[in-house]
Amino acid sequence: MWESLIISVLIGLAIVVPCRLLRVLSTSGMLTAWAFGSSVVFWGGLAWAVPLLTAFVTASLWSKVLPGRDARAKRDSCRTMTQVLANGSCAWACVGWWALSGDPLAYAGFVAAFAVLAADTWATEWGRLSSTPPRHILTGRTLVRGESGGVSLIGTIASAAGAATVAASAGIVLALQGRAAEWWWLAGIALTGLAGSLLDSVLGATLQARFTCPSCGTITEDSRHCGVSATPRSGWHWLGNDLVNLTSIVLATAGWVLLLACCR
């Protein structure tokens, strides 16, 4: 057991240190991801590590290499501890569930959680390439690029592709281990990822906090702007982007797991 734990910790370290050097993770994000990745490798092994790495590596890759961001934004787009927890807490809970019970539903929830993460990130990064401005997911009105609640055709296609990529990675690693996954299970994972991404947009369009900067008048999602506290404008003032991400991942994953529980 101790040998497996040490190997898991070293594997986790080998993954997160390069990510820190490439400014994919902040120091706090690196430490959190290290603990998360090590526990996933220790309790789940390769079948669990592959979907995690697929979602994380692709999300980080698109945020760094795709056009649509200025050089400073790309340089500073490293994930903090809060962001790692917001995006990974649901999957981490599934790891704990598996460790305590060995229930195969835990793995289904784990992969679904990362399918939602990949779907949302792919939609955001690829959506920046759209030649037309995003539309409000509920009303269809034109939005400013980067504003929460917006969707585009290229972003929606990318969202579906991201979720399908994570589902496929799980299917491939299971097949290599001699445990073939049913096609409907993989399709359900992909659809859950897409649904979670759309739910994220709905929450962003309706409940996520927006503020007005008293200094420059800019409408922002940050509670501080131009070095001063911004004035609440709409939404729930405590519901920021990280909490929206967490909520959409939890709700979509819970829906998928409950469906599987009812069918078995």
Q: Tens digit of pLDDT for each residue in 157-170?
A: 999 999 999 999 99
Which string of b and e fits 248-257 if b means at least 16 CB within 10 Å?
bbbbbbeebb
Task: Check residue 152 and give its pLDDT.
Answer: 92
pLDDT band at 75 (very low <50, low <70, confident <90, very high): very low
Give the mean model confidence (pLDDT) for residues 166-183.
92
Cα 204 to chain centroid distance, Å, stands at: 15
Task: Check residue 190 and give its pLDDT.
Answer: 97
What is the average pLDDT value for the chain, to the nearest integer?
A: 87
Output 122 or 229, whichever has higher pLDDT: 122
Q: What is the CA radius of gyration of the chain?
A: 19
Pairing of strands 228-229, 135-136: unpaired
**Is the overall model pTM greater than 0.85, yes or no?**
yes
Q: Lowest-pLDDT range, 26-30, 112-116, 217-221?
A: 217-221
DSSP string, the chain: -HHHHHHHHHHHHHHHHHHHHTTSB-HHHHHHHHHHHHHHHHHT-HHHHHHHHHHHHHHHHHHHHSSSS-HHHHHT--B-HHHHHHHHHHHHHHHHHHHHH--HHHHHHHHHHHHHHHHHHHHHHHHTT-SS--EETTT--B--TT-TTEE-HHHHHHHHHHHHHHHHHHHHHHHHTT-PPPHHHHHHHHHHHHHHHHHHHHHHHHTS-EEE-TTT--EESSSEETTEEPEEEES-TT--HHHHHHHHHHHHHHHHHHHHHHH-
Percent of the chain with pLDDT over 90: 48
Q: Which two tokens stand for residue 133?
A: 């401005």
Q: What are the residue ranges spanned by the domains of the chain? A: 2-263
Give the mean model confidence (pLDDT) for residues 203-221.
80
Q: Tens digit of pLDDT for each residue in 130-146?
A: 888 899 898 888 887 76
